[in-house]
Amino acid sequence: MTNQTAMQYFEWYLPSDGQHWNNLAEDAQHLADLGISHVWMPPAFKATNKDDVGYGVYDLFDLGEFDQKGTVRTKYGLKEEYLNAIKQLKEVGIVPMADVVLNHKAAADKLETFEVVEVDPEDRTQEISEPFEIEGWTHFTFDGRNKAYNDFEWHWYHFNGTDFDAKRNKSGIYLIQGDNKGWADNDLVDNENGNFDYLMYANLDYKHPEVIENIYEWADWFVETTGVQGFRMDAIKHIDSFFMRNFIRDVKEKQGQDFYVFGEFWNGNEEDNNTYLEKIEKRFDLVDVPLHNNLHNASTAGADYDLTTIFDHSLVKNHPEHAVTFVDNHDTQRGQALESTVEEWFKPAA
């Protein structure tokens, strides 16, 4: 395969004016003229509010169509504008890619009462309480959508963890109790903080068959509805790798092997990257976080950095056919959780 050039067509601090999809549609020909082959679009789903960048995802079946969370549009615009942007990209030969957020759900509609234990945020394998009842935001009814496209409602038992007890008005990391509950197996998620299954909000439980069934139903609907030709998978080090391997296998069997997928495995460790690719049987590519870290270090060290080591430990060195190289993205921008911005003077060289 010849090298392709993808553009991440968004950043963290875009204005929340609902014009982004329209801007992208107008820019499609210009991007093609520049040689861009793929465009990674931001999450198109209804999130916590109209200003949400998209990762506080509320309803995967609402692409800016229904009045939910105080808005019809998302930060980026309306459903028909999203579909038009995808159409315009395809017309100029660019592969449109959707940012897919399957780790968690946010801004539930109703509280539910269920049993949890609190765990140590630094080591989620350590319980720091006896089982007790909380009131958690885990019931998703999507009233504004009124069962259009899909009638599934989410309940507490579709999640394995949450972060807020409304009964006590207390934040924490709460491991939900019940039959077949618990974090994903340690060897299926990142081992930071003991077990990094839990990231934020209400954490999807991929041991629950109804969760898997609903995500598969959504994927079929989403690709058919939008015509996207690829996925960028968000936060995959927090998602059961067994599920991810099978899910992408099945998506590609249905959509064709040219349906392009890459994952955000945010881990700078060389061995962990190699192991993850083996676990997913190399069914999709990964962003090259070790290379980004090298570029950042080179940009801050300046003349003290040995450029002959720039590719050391990177995916592009070890698995070039599965590496998505990048200089910076929305998470590495200044002020963000993973801030590691490559200094401006070094960006052209990077």
Q: How far apart are the C-alpha atoms of 55 and 104, rounded to whole Å?
A: 9
pLDDT of 340 over the 80 cut: no
57-61, 167-171, 332-336, range with the lowest pLDDT: 332-336
- For residue 159, the cross-strand partners are 204
Confidence of residue 311 (pLDDT cuts 50, 70, 90): very high
Global pTM exceeds 0.85: yes
pLDDT of 245 over the 70 cut: yes
Dihedral sign computed on CA atoms, order 74, 77, 78, 83: negative
Instruction: Name the residue range of residue 11's domain.
Output: 6-102+213-346
Classified as helix, coil or strand, 74 is strand
Give the chain's domain count: 2
Q: What is the rounded average pLDDT of the residues 107-117?
A: 98
Classified as helix, coil or strand, 342 is coil
Q: What is the rounded average pLDDT of the residues 195-209?
A: 97
Structure tokens at 280: 């997913």
The mean predicted confidence, pLDDT, of the chain is: 96
Longest Cα–Cα distance of the chain, Å, equals: 61
Q: How far apart are the C-alpha atoms of 16 and 64, rounded to whole Å?
A: 14
283, 245 Cβ separation under 8 angstroms: yes
How high is the pLDDT of residue 18?
98
Q: Residue 75's CB: how many other CB atoms inside 10 A?
A: 23
Residues 322 and 235 in one domain: yes
Q: 29 Cβ partners below 8 Å, 6+ apart? A: 92
Q: How far apart are the C-alpha atoms of 275 and 112, rounded to whole Å?
A: 38
Residues 171 and 305 in one domain: no
Residues tagged active-site: 234, 264
How high is the pLDDT of residue 268?
87
Residues 225 and 160 in one domain: no
- For residue 139, the cross-strand partners are 110
Residues 337 and 190 in one domain: no
pLDDT in tens, 260-293: 999 999 888 899 999 999 999 999 999 999 999 9
Residues 55 and 86 in one domain: yes
pLDDT of 142 over the 70 cut: yes
